Amino acid sequence: MRITRGAVVAGSVALALGLSACGGGGSSSNSSNNNTGSSSGFNAGTKGIVNPSTKKGGTLRIGYSSDVDSFDPTRIYYASGENFMALYNRTLLAPAQKPGKDGLVLQPDLAESLPQISADKLTYTFKLRKGLKFEDGSPITSKDVKYAVERSFAQDVLSGGPTYIVDQLDQGQNYPGPYKDTDPNKMGLKSVQTPDDSTIVFHLAQPYADFPYLLPMLAGAVPAAKDTGEKYTDHVVSDGPYKFESFDPGKKVVLVRNPNWDPATDPIRKALPDRIEMTLQMNPDELDKQLLDGTLDIDFGQTGVQQAAQAKILLDPKLKANADEPNTGFIRYVTISSKVAPFDNIHCRKAVQYAADKVALQTARGGADAGGDIATNMLPPNIAGYDPNLDPFNTKSGKPQIDKAKQELAACGKPNGFETKIAVRNKGKEPKTAEALQQALAAVGIKATIDQSDASLYFRSTIGSPDNVHAKGYGLMFAGWGADFPTAGGFLQVLVDGRKIQPSGNNNYGELNDPEINSLIDKANSEPDPKKSAAIWSQINAKVMDTATQLPFVYDKALNYRNPRLTNVFVWSYYGEWDFSALGLSDGK
């Protein structure tokens, strides 16, 4: 999940869902030790619920230092975007909106119960709740859910979103998506069936234990008659508690109550504010200022305040009492291209690994306290399969290793260094982080120029397009990543599976395509035992690091400030962020 998912804890999918091999069940259970009580003070939102309340009314005011990548749920691939879309997009299953480990449990949303799973684990059957409606009052049927799934296959039109569902459900049909489907029988995607308006059945080609986690990442239901393709983001048809009143790209978006949302059909969302306003493309320091003076309530990105605000918060007990600094479950890293010269030579990639000053990169992110811990490999500590001893380039100290970097430069035929380009988003702390890498590389003769790009297009068409990467000569690309769902496969696969390289919206930025890694990924995905699967992912992580295409530098933390008037504030473990759709306002204004 692109940085802007969070503090997930890997475990058995069957346990997390409360499912048996061949049956469904009820909703998630509560446990007494999962930090679900009320809390207050610094980091209170990481421990429980801050200011619990059921009071309704008022306008929730959100700021964002960039533009959104999309409001179309099919195209959303930012943590904050998936968090935010729960306000207007319901899915068959959704993570429980609760603090602590309870927030990792999937529960029925559009579905009336958890799925019935066949004994061979190849068939998942869902029944929809009664009384579900779109914002215009039209009923939601299983065909609307199937159509929403089919949209994910139209990657030529709706690029940028997750494609796990395509991998699991295409099964050789080469389904082109609904816009190019010329089948006269109108069968659509054959692996998904709708025997009646309230039933949807998914057929897998082989068992895939993580399948239920793919469903919260999708558009839940889309009415085909109102689908406007790539323009659907301009007015998404809501089935949640809020609908779009207006959307002025790059400036402002306003959500208001959806009169056709029936809370009796929704066990998850509280829908406390009357109105939600988000201001886009704000200067980061101005955004922080308005947070601290109470003009804004919350930052959409939740990637941490800037250094000036950080100092104010940490030195003022009153401000600090309204801040949280969770370990987000994200890694900040740089991908080193395997296709852009001279990085097609592994020794040139290793030179960067040794030359990087991870302490300087950490400092640019906010230091050890607010920026995160030094990262040494591509699995974060909260995901099963993480190995704290995996550090092939001996970078735990964070200090550059100049002599080794120069040895690798000589080995790749560039003893005096070379020139390259660094790609980075033009937002927040990222430009300063790129400058820290630029300075460290200069010490060994690598002259890197920094190319800042618009954040809303960065992952889709800047570094997400291999052709653009090659044309621009991006040797080094900054990124951040958290688990798409709480397993090692949900974190790492999309970044390193060579079969997932796409012309647009690509996430395998280094274009790593190693047959041994690909084979191990298949082995891990088909392994039903979580511990054995995690052990395989640990092997994959080690092999990825040996390619020197990934330079992880920080296991992320984020210091964020919350307006004291907010109620029901907690860090949603599934995304590592405050839950937008749980929030209320104590003053009702």
Task: State residue 126's pLDDT score.
Answer: 98
Each residue of 211-240: pLDDT tens digit? Answer: 999 999 999 999 999 999 999 999 999 999
Q: Beta-carbon neighbour count of residue 223 at 10 Å?
A: 18
CA 300, 304, 305: angle at the middle one, nearest 5? Answer: 95
DSSP letter for each residue of 149-179 = HHHTT-TTTSTTS--HHHHHH-TT-----TT
Whether residue 580 is predicted with pLDDT greater than 80 in this model: the reply is yes
286 by Cβ neighbours in 10 Å (0-12 / 13-18 / 19+) ranks as middle
CB-based contact 358:425 (threshold 8 Å): no
Residue with tokens 């709706």: 158
Q: What is the pLDDT of residue 20?
A: 37
Q: How far apart are CA 378 and CA 351, in angstroms?
A: 18
How far is residue 480 from each of residues 68, 77, 507, measured CA to CA in Å? 16, 12, 11
| Position 296 pLDDT exceeds 50 | yes
Does residue 437 register a pLDDT over 60?
Answer: yes
Cα(208)–Cα(485) distance, integer angstroms: 13
193-215: pLDDT as tens digits: 999 999 999 999 988 888 999 99
pLDDT value of position 574: 87
- C-alpha span between 368 and 365 (Å, rounded): 9
Q: Report pLDDT digits (tens) over 400-427.
A: 999 999 999 999 999 999 999 999 999 8
pLDDT tens digits, residue range 300-313? 999 889 989 999 99
Token pair, residue 82, equals: 């998936």
Q: Sorting pLDDT into bands at 50, 70 and 90, what band is 382?
A: confident
CA-nearest of 556, 48, 560 to 313 is 560
Provide the 10 A C-beta neighbour count for residue 389: 7
Look at residue 486 in the predicted model and tell me its pLDDT: 79
Q: In this predicted model, what pLDDT tens digit does every residue of 107-134 receive, in sequence order?
A: 999 999 999 999 999 999 999 999 999 9
Confidence band (pLDDT; 50, 70, 90) for 27?
Answer: very low
pLDDT band at 187 (very low <50, low <70, confident <90, very high): confident
State if pTM tops 0.85.
no
pLDDT tens across 448-496, in order? 999 999 988 899 899 999 999 999 999 999 999 988 887 899 899 999 9
Q: Is the pLDDT of residue 294 over 90?
A: yes
User: What's residue 36's pLDDT?
Assistant: 54
Q: Which two three-digit tokens encode residue 88?
A: 């207007």
Instruction: Reply yes or no on whether the pLDDT at 157 is more than 80.
Output: yes
- pLDDT, mean of residues 133-141: 98
* Least confident range of 24-33, 186-195, 216-225, 381-390: 24-33
Assess whether pLDDT exceeds 80 at residue 336.
Answer: yes
Q: Which of 253, 312, 318, 309 is nearest to 281 (CA)?
A: 253
Q: How far is CA 28 from CA 96, 148, 346, 453, in A?
A: 8, 25, 48, 42
Predicted pLDDT of residue 12: 37
pLDDT averaged over every residue in the chain: 91
Average pLDDT over residues 440-447: 98
Q: Does the structure show a pLDDT above 50 at 26?
A: no
Token output for 530: 């979580």
Q: Comparing 348 with 428, which gets the higher pLDDT?
A: 348
Q: Is the pLDDT of residue 4 over 60?
A: no
Q: Which residues pair with 117 in a beta bridge?
A: 124
Type of residue at 546: D
Give the pLDDT of residue 1: 59
**CA–CA separation, 385 vs 257, rounded Å?**
43
